[in-house]
Amino acid sequence: MSSATVPFGRRPLAVILAGAALMSALPAAEARVTRIVIDATDSIAGQPAFQQLTGRAFGELDPKDIHNRLITDIDLAPQNANGKAEYIAVFRLRMPKDMNTASGVMWHDVPNRGGNVAFPDDSFAAKDVQLLSGWQGDNAGGTAVPANVACLPPYVAPCAAPVFNNYYVKTPVVPNIQGQILGRIVNRGGLAGAPLNVMGNPIPYFPVNAADNSHDTLTIHTKETVDGDITVGGTVPNSDWKYCGGGTFAAPLPVTTLPVQVCMKAPGFDATKLYQLSYRVKDPYVLGAGTAAFRDVQSFFRYDAADDAGTPNPLAGHITSAIVRGVSQSGNFTRHYIFLGMNEDEKGRIVHEGAWPLIAGRRVANNSRWGQPDGVLELYQMGSEGPQWWHSFPDRVRDLHPGGILDRCEASGTCPKIVETFGGSEVFALKMTTSWVGTDPKNDIPLPDNVRRYYLPSSTHGGGNGDMVQNPPDVTTNPLNCPGNNWGRGTLRANPVPSTQLVNRMRLALRDWVTTGAEPPESVWPRMRGAKSERTLVEPTQQAMGFPSGVPRIASAIFSPENFVFPVFDYDWGPSFNEFDATGNPTNAPPPIKAVIKMKVPKVDADGNELGGVPTVLRDAPLGTYLGWNLTTTGFHAGQVCNYVGGMIPFAHTQAERVANGDPRLSLEERYGSHNGYVLAVKNAAGNAWRQGYLLPQDMINLVNQAQASNVCANGAAKQSCNPAAP
C-alpha cells in the first residue's frame, strides 16, 4: 500500500522508525537512474577552467520498494514493462573541465520554482562542483515540461532535443482520478477573467469538465483576518461565471492550457473582495516521484560509473561529499526531503553529507494528492503539517505522536550535518517559530548535535540590499510589492538588512564541517529561556515585545492578532490524509480550522530592533528600525502585515527633528554625532561579529569601507553633520 491507501490514524513513532530501519536492511532494488542524456555542453563566462553540462536523467521507481512506499499514489502510477513508474528530470552540472583538479565537494542546489541558482565565486575558486536538478513535477509555470522531453538521440523528425528553459521533472500522472481543490482570486478588480494561480504560477490541475461548473462553488469573502476569521459575503450564482482560457464571459476562449481562468459576468470582479473557488479537478501528479528523482539523480552522479546504456558519469570517482542547498521554497523542500527519509538512496547509502535550508520555516506540499508546491502558506495552503522541528518532540495541540524531521534518517544513519539560516520575515509570515518551540510553546526544543541554527535579526525575506544611506528611498520612488497572490503594496520603506555576509560565512562553515569536521560557530536564535534565563522569544504583542510607542507610521492596531503574525493552522484535511506525514488525499476543500497555533516572536530593543540573533552591522549600528514585517496599504488585506516582506522606519536626523515628531528613538545626531562617529560604530559592530565567528575578515573590511563611503552624517562643510541642511 502507498500512503494514499493506508489507514490514517495517528501512527505510533515505533512504526515509523521500524519502517525506516527496514529500509536499510532490505536488499538493493533495481529502481534508479537508467539513462542520462547530455543535451548541451557550454563554457561559463569568466570561468575558463569550468564547463556546464545540461541534460536529462531518465529513471524508474519500484512502487514495492520500501524506499518509495511513502510516495503518495506511487502504486496507482502507470508502470512500464518492468513494473516501475518512470520519471524524467532535467539537470545541469557546473564542473571543472579537468576533474582531476576538482575538490571532491558537490553542491546540490534545489531550483526554486524551476529557476536557476548561481554558483558563488568562492565555490568556483575552490574547484567545487554544482549540480542542479528538477524536483517540482507539477508541470506548470516555471516547471512546465517540454512536449518532446522523452526524445532521445539520434533525433529523427518530428523528435528533437528539448530546449532547456527551466528545471523540471516529468512525474507520472494518475488517470481517471477526481478530487476537490481550492483556487483563490484576490485584488483582481475590473477584470472580466482572472487566472487560478498560486504564488503567481498556475494551479496545476484542470477542471473535470470545463464546460460544466454545476458541482463547483464560487464564494465571496468580504474580510479575512490573519488568524483565520472569515466573513462570507455570499456566493456568485453559477450562471454568472464560467471557466475560460481568457476572453470574456460573453465570448470565452477554450480551456486548453494553464492557467485555467474564471470569466465573470459584467461588471466582473470587485477589487475589495476575495473570491474562493471550490472545484472538481482530475488527473493528479505523483508529486513525490519528483522528490525521489532528486535523490536518485544525486546518487547517480555521486556513486555510479555509467548508465545502463554505457554513457559514462562525467563525475565518476571524483565526488567525496555532497551538500544539498535550498533557498525559501527550495529550503522548504530540503526540510521535506530529509523528513521523508530520502537522504538514503535505494542501496542504503547517504546521499548528502550536508544540508542547508535558507530562509525556510516549513516543509513543501510535494507529496499529497492535488499538492501545490508553489504555495507560500497563505490561508488553506499546506506546508505546516506534522513536525516542523528537527528533534523528536510532542505535538499536543494537534494530538499527533512525538516526532521530528530527522526521525527517518536517524533510524537509517543517513542524517546530514545541517545549517539553517533565516530571519524576521520567516517569523512573522512564514511560521518559523513553531520549529523552535512546537505547537504548545512552553519550552525551547533542543537542537540535535548535527544541526546549527542562525537567526538574522530584523531582516526581510532573503535579506536587503545592505545600503548604508541617511535618506533611504520611500515607497513613492521605490514601490514595495507584498509577495504572494496579489497581496497588495507595502506602506513602509524596504528593509536593507543584508543576508550576504551571514550566507558567506555559513557557506564556508558548512563546507568545513562536512569536509574536515571543523565545528561551526555557536547557534544563535531567539529563545524562550536563553543563557542566564534571558528571554528573547515572547508573545506577539506590543507590550511583550517591548516595541516602543510613538514610532512614526506604526499604530498599535497592527499588533492585533487579526493583523500581525501569521499563525500555523491545524486543518482537518479529511480522513484520507495523513496529518503527520502530510501524505494521502485531502478531501476537504476548504478544510475546517480545528485550532490556531500560538506563535512567538523576538523581543526588541528601545529602537524596535530584534534581540537574540546573530550580531550584524546594520542591527548593531542602526540607521533606523528594521522590521521583519511591513504594512499592507491597499487592497483586500489593507492594514495587515504585508505577507513575508520587511520594512524600515529611518531615525530622525537631529534631536530637534525627533522631538518635533514625537519620535522616542534617538536621532542619528544623538547616536553618532558625526560621520566619523558612525564609521566607528560600524567598525566596532563588524569587529564584534568577526570576533564571535559570524563574519569573514574580507566582509568585515568591506563593511567598514562602505560606511566610510556612505553619506551618513556627512553633511556640512566638514562633512561631519547629521543635519542635511547643514551649511
Question: Hey, where are the domains in the chain?
Answer: 31-174+284-318, 178-282, 320-650, 652-679+693-727
Contacts of 637 (CB under 8 A, 6+ apart): 186, 224, 482, 487, 488, 643
Residues in the chain: 727
User: For residue range 322-349, what is the model confidence (pLDDT) as tens digits?
Assistant: 999 999 999 999 999 999 999 999 999 9
Tell me the C-alpha to C-alpha distance, in Å, between residue 134 and each of 164, 296, 300, 301, 302.
12, 11, 14, 14, 17
- The predicted-structure confidence for 147-190, as pLDDT tens digits, reads as follows 999 999 999 999 999 999 999 999 999 999 999 999 999 988 77
Please tell me the predicted confidence (pLDDT) of residue 719. 81
What is the amino acid identity at position 1? M
State the pLDDT confidence band at 543, using cuts at 50, 70 and 90. very high
What interhelical angle do 675-691 and 697-709 show, nearest 10?
A: 170
Q: Give the DSSP letter string of 349-394.
A: -BS-SEEEEES--S--S-SBTT--TT--S-TT--S--S--SSS-EE
683-705 mean pLDDT: 98
- Cell 563574519 belongs to which residue? 695
Phi, psi of 339 (to 5 degrees): -60, -40
Over 60: is that where the pLDDT of 721 sits? yes
The pLDDT of residue 727: 79
Question: In whole angstroms, what is the distance from residue 445 CA to residue 60 CA?
Answer: 39
How far is residue 171's CA from residue 89's CA, in Å, rounded to a whole number? Answer: 9
CA–CA dist 658, 535 (Å, integer): 30
Could you report how far apart the first and last alpha carbons of the chain are, in Å?
79
Q: Which residues contact 705 (CB under 8 A, 6 or more apart)?
A: none
Q: Does the pLDDT of residue 398 top 80, yes or no?
A: yes
The candidate with the shortest Cα–Cα distance to 706, out of 726, 678, 671, 666, is: 678
pLDDT at 212: 97
Instruction: Give tens-digit pLDDT for 60-71.
Output: 999 999 999 999
Average pLDDT over the chain, rounded to an integer = 93
Q: How does residue 215 score in pLDDT terms, banded at 50, 70 and 90? A: very high
At residue 347, the pLDDT reads 93
- On whether the CB atoms of residues 644 and 376 are closer than 8 A, the answer is yes
Cβ-contact 65, 28 below 8 angstroms? no
pLDDT at position 6 is 33
Q: How confident is the model at residue 418 (pLDDT cuts 50, 70, 90)?
A: very high
Q: Are 262 and 194 in contact (CB under 8 A)?
A: yes
Given a cut of 60, whether residue 7 has pLDDT beyond it is: no
Q: Which of 562, 640, 637, 558 is nearest to 272 (CA)?
A: 637
b/e map 16-40, b = 16+ CB within 10 Å: bbebbeebbeeeebebbbbbbbebe
Q: What percent of the chain stands above pLDDT 90? A: 89
Amino acid identity for residue 419 in this structure: V
Helices (H), 478-540: 500-516
**Phi, psi of 630, rounded to the nearest 5 degrees:** -140, 175
pTM of the model: 0.94
DSSP state of 142: G
How remote is the C-alpha of 364 from its chain's centroid?
Answer: 8
CA 103 to chain centre: 29
Confidence check: pLDDT of 15 > 60: no
Please report where in the chains the cell 538574522 appears, as a residue: 456
- For the ranges 24-33, 364-373, 486-495, which has the lowest average pLDDT? 24-33
Residue bearing the bigger pLDDT, 91 or 272: 91
391 CB neighbour count, 10 Å cutoff = 18
Predicted confidence at residue 31, as pLDDT, reads 55
Query: Coil, strand, or helix at residue 96?
Result: strand
CB 334 within 8 A of CB 326: yes
Helices 697-709/500-516 angle, 10° precision: 170
pLDDT at 25 over 70: no
**Average pLDDT rounded to a whole number, residues 288-296:** 98
- Find, among 213, 608, 651, the residue nearest to 472 by Cα: 651
Q: What are phi and psi of 533, to 5 degrees?
A: 60, 20
pLDDT of residue 298: 98
Other Cβ atoms less than 10 A from the Cβ of 105: the count is 21
In 3D space, the residue among 178, 151, 197 whose CA is nearest the CA of residue 56 turns out to be 151
Q: What is the pLDDT of residue 192?
A: 83
The secondary structure of residue 556, as a DSSP letter, is: G
CB 507 within 8 A of CB 353: no
Mean pLDDT for the stretch of residues 134-151: 96
- Of 587, 594, 613, which is closest to residue 602 (Cα–Cα)? 613
Grid coordinates given for 90: 532535467
Q: Is the pLDDT of residue 211 over 80?
A: yes
Do 651 and 624 touch, CB atoms closer than 8 A? yes
Alpha carbons 721 and 480: distance in angstroms, whole number: 30
CA nearest 70: which of 121, 2, 8? 2
Name the 3-class secondary structure at 297.
helix
Distance separating alpha carbons of residues 246 and 111, to the nearest angstrom: 30
pLDDT per residue over 436-469, tens digit each? 999 999 999 999 999 999 999 999 999 999 999 9
Residue 515 region, left (φ>0) first, then alpha (ψ -120 to 50), else beta? alpha
DSSP letter, residue 298: H
